[in-house]
A and B are shown apart, each in its own frame.
Chain A
Amino acid sequence: MTREKRIIGLSAIIVAALALLPFVPGAADSYLFFLLYLFFLYTIIGQAWNLVAGYTGQISLGQHAFFGLGAYTAALVWSRGLFGAEHVYYFDPLTLIASGLVAAAFALVIGFPLLSKLRGDYFALGTLGFGEIVRVAFVKGGSYTGGPFGIVLPSSLYESLRPHYWLGLGLAAGLTLLIFWIRRSSLGLALVAIRDDEMAASSNGVNVLKYKLVAFALGAFFTGMAGCLQAYYLFHVSPEGFLNLNWTLYPILIAVIGGSGTVLGPVIGALAVTVVFSYANIFFPELHPIFSGLAIILVMLFMPNGIMRLRFRGRA
């Protein structure tokens, strides 16, 4: 237990230091600051997938739909004046929550038929189909969604990357803490039981469908908020930028590289992916995808259970 307390203490110190970093003069203008923002964003989407797939065992390939739905919620709040004409969407708590809730609502609506009827690979394919439907719906959405071009938001509100950084850090740390707590609660016990053996879980009194839905919707909620956060950064919400399959592949990579089904795995994975992708992009711009792909293959070959579990090899 003392080892665990040490990790918690160390994590708290790191989060506090990261939270204070923007006050260092010049820090907010450096490239590293942007990388840290990216690291937080990746942590959020990686942890969200970790909750659904790593802990509950439901492989979702539709995370990009939730990311896009969150971003489009923010965009439509502004372009359609959904919360009233005077309403400002930019870093507005109501808009942020709404983007998470819209994604979660879609997760419940699509999750109910998929999770009650489909298992394993079939559920994964079902979510992939859902993602495509959402993408096409936004592409064909005409003037309402801006079609293939999407919606451009007023970027004059931008002052610095600081609010993005803090919000990203808050969501990433909050979600990681939430997963830490869930794993120790009876909810977490139910999720892991479902992952291990669905039938045995239900014959122990676990309502399998309910808990799968809870995990799926919770994952969608945070992925939706991450989409909203990214919309605040890009000011251009489009199918290409937000409903791209990359937003499903990245979280999988992040969770699997770091160690899915562990609390800190996706954090480590997000760090690794940010560093590898960004530096490969700087030093070998043309070879970047090859370099990054190679890094992934190497990790999977030598650390098939992720970086987090490497240290526990040989223990019971």
Chain B
Amino acid sequence: MNHLLEIKDLSVAYGDVQALWDVSAHVDEGTVVSVVGANGAGKSTLMRAISGLLEPLSGDILFRGETLVGVPAQEITARGISHVPEGRGLFTQLTVQENLELGAYLAHVRPHFAASLDHVFTLFPKLKERRGQKAGSLSGGEQQMLAIGRALIARPKLLILDEPSLGLSPLVVRQMFELIARLHDEGVTLLLVEQNIRQALKAADRAYVLQTGHVAMQGEAAALLENPQVQKTYMGALD
């Protein structure tokens, strides 16, 4: 079976510091895949390599059978990968509406803008109320919604969410995971990076556990959730 996204023996460095060694992974269409691990495990590095913000040292990234290595970031977006980066990457000086318009920057997306905008406003009614407001004036949860909404405008074939729950209150975190479940039901393919491992595994079909730049474990998310080693290392379970 052909995977939507396939990562083969990927090694990536940040300047002189290597952050990923021979990572292999795949994402199938319509599934939610979580990448979990401690701080500095290389999760965000992996996402940045996929969306073209970092150039790999070696290995390959295939999206619908074509390589993404050496392809500029804006071209990768055009091919259907939207990345909501850690820290959201919002344009704080622009209004909510303008941020969403930027989500429709690509020529092939623009004709669908009105319909996509309606969809995003249905998912996030708050954004509709605040469309004229500067993005920087929104609360943390609203900013995260705006970042995800902007990514959805482009109708991506693969949506990458990097730490969407970071710095949000428990109630908003719960809403965030409800949203992920809803997107999953709508058939959106999701690659989710999380430190909140229990939640991330519950939301996912498959998962990868990264440890200091290597894939330490992988498999069905439900099985990993029951895995005693995962429970011990990442969820603080007692022996």
Chain A contacts to B: CB under 8 angstroms = 186, 189-190, 192-193, 195-197, 199-208, 316
A205 and B77: CB pair below 8 A? yes
- Identify the 6 closest CB pairs spanning chains A and B, nearest first: A200-B89, A196-B91, A205-B106, A202-B73, A205-B77, A205-B105
Q: How far is the CA of A316 from the CA of B96 in the complex (A)?
A: 13
A201 and B102: CB pair below 8 A? yes
Q: Which residues of A contact B77 (CB under 8 A)?
A: 202-205
> Taking A196-B91, A197-B89, A316-B137 as contacts, is the C-beta distance between A203 and B102 under 8 angstroms?
no
Interface size class of B (residues with CB under 8 A): 20 to 34
A203 and B94: CB pair below 8 A? no
A196 contact from B73, B85, B92, B154, Cβ within 8 A: B92
Chain B contacts to A: CB under 8 angstroms = 51-53, 72-74, 77-78, 82-83, 85, 89-94, 98, 101-103, 105-106, 109, 133-134, 137, 150, 154
A206 contact from B94, B98, B102, Cβ within 8 A: B102
Q: Is the interface of A mostly helix, strand, loop or mixed?
A: helix
B91 and A200: CB pair below 8 A? yes
B91 contact from A192, A207, A208, A316, Cβ within 8 A: A192
Q: Which residues of B contact A206 (CB under 8 A)?
A: 74, 102, 105
Q: How far is the CA of A207 from the CA of B52 in the complex (A)?
A: 13
Q: How far is the CA of A203 from the CA of B156 in the complex (A)?
A: 12
Beyond A195-B93, A200-B89, A202-B73, 11 additional contacts (C-beta under 8 Å) are: A189-B105, A190-B105, A193-B102, A196-B92, A199-B73, A200-B90, A203-B77, A205-B109, A206-B105, A207-B72, A208-B74
Q: How far is the CA of A193 from the CA of B101 in the complex (A)?
A: 11
Q: How far is the CA of A316 from the CA of B98 in the complex (A)?
A: 16
Q: Which residues of B contact A200 (CB under 8 A)?
A: 85, 89-91
B106 and A199: CB pair below 8 A? no
A192 and B85: CB pair below 8 A? no
Which residue from chain B places its CB closest to the CB of A192 in the assembled complex? B94
B93 and A202: CB pair below 8 A? no
Q: How far is the CA of A192 from the CA of B91 in the complex (A)?
A: 8
Which residue from chain B places its CB closest to the CB of A194 in the assembled complex? B91
B74 contact from A192, A197, A202, A316, Cβ within 8 A: A202
Which residue from chain A places its CB closest to the CB of B89 in the assembled complex? A200
Q: Which residues of B contact A190 (CB under 8 A)?
A: 102, 105
Q: How far is the CA of A195 from the CA of B94 in the complex (A)?
A: 11
A199 and B150: CB pair below 8 A? no
Return 12 A-B CB contacts under 8 Å, by A number.
A189-B94, A189-B102, A196-B94, A197-B89, A197-B90, A200-B90, A203-B53, A204-B150, A205-B74, A205-B106, A207-B74, A316-B134
Q: Which residues of B contact A189 (CB under 8 A)?
A: 94, 98, 101-102, 105
Q: How far is the CA of A202 from the CA of B72 in the complex (A)?
A: 9
Q: Which residues of A contact B93 (CB under 8 A)?
A: 192, 195-196
B105 contact from A186, A195, A196, A199, Cβ within 8 A: A186
CB distance from A201 to the nearest CB of B (A): 7
CB distance from B187 to the nearest CB of A (A): 22
Q: Which residues of B contact A203 (CB under 8 A)?
A: 51-53, 73-74, 77, 82-83, 85, 89
Which residue from chain B places its CB closest to the CB of A202 in the assembled complex? B73
CB distance from A63 to the nearest CB of B (A): 24
Q: How far is the CA of A204 from the CA of B98 in the complex (A)?
A: 12
Q: How far is the CA of A201 from the CA of B90 in the complex (A)?
A: 9
CB distance from B104 to the nearest CB of A (A): 9
Q: How far is the CA of A199 from the CA of B44 in the complex (A)?
A: 14
CB distance from A48 to the nearest CB of B (A): 21
Q: Which residues of A contact B72 (CB under 8 A)?
A: 202, 207
Q: Which residues of A contact B154 (CB under 8 A)?
A: 204-205
Which residue from chain A places its CB closest to the CB of B133 in the assembled complex? A316
Which residue from chain B places its CB closest to the CB of A190 in the assembled complex? B105
> Taking A196-B92, A196-B93 as contacts, is the C-beta distance between A204 and B102 under 8 angstroms?
yes
Q: Which residues of A contact B133 (CB under 8 A)?
A: 316
Q: How far is the CA of A105 from the CA of B61 in the complex (A)?
A: 38
Q: How far is the CA of A199 from the CA of B76 in the complex (A)?
A: 13
Q: How far is the CA of A186 from the CA of B51 in the complex (A)?
A: 23
Q: Which of A189, A203, A206 has the most B CB atoms < 10 Å from its CB?
A: A203
Q: How far is the CA of A101 from the CA of B86 in the complex (A)?
A: 42
Q: Which of A203, A204, A207 has the most B CB atoms < 10 Å from its CB?
A: A204
Which residue from chain A places its CB closest to the CB of B135 in the assembled complex? A196
Q: Which residues of B contact A316 (CB under 8 A)?
A: 133-134, 137
Q: Which residues of B contact A204 (CB under 8 A)?
A: 74, 77, 102-103, 105, 150, 154
Which residue from chain B places its CB closest to the CB of A200 in the assembled complex? B89
CB distance from A184 to the nearest CB of B (A): 11
Q: How far is the CA of A62 from the CA of B127 in the complex (A)?
A: 42
CB distance from B237 to the nearest CB of A (A): 37
Q: Which of B51, B53, B105, B134 has the most A CB atoms < 10 Å from its CB?
A: B105
Q: How far is the CA of A203 from the CA of B77 in the complex (A)?
A: 6
Q: Which residues of A contact B101 (CB under 8 A)?
A: 186, 189
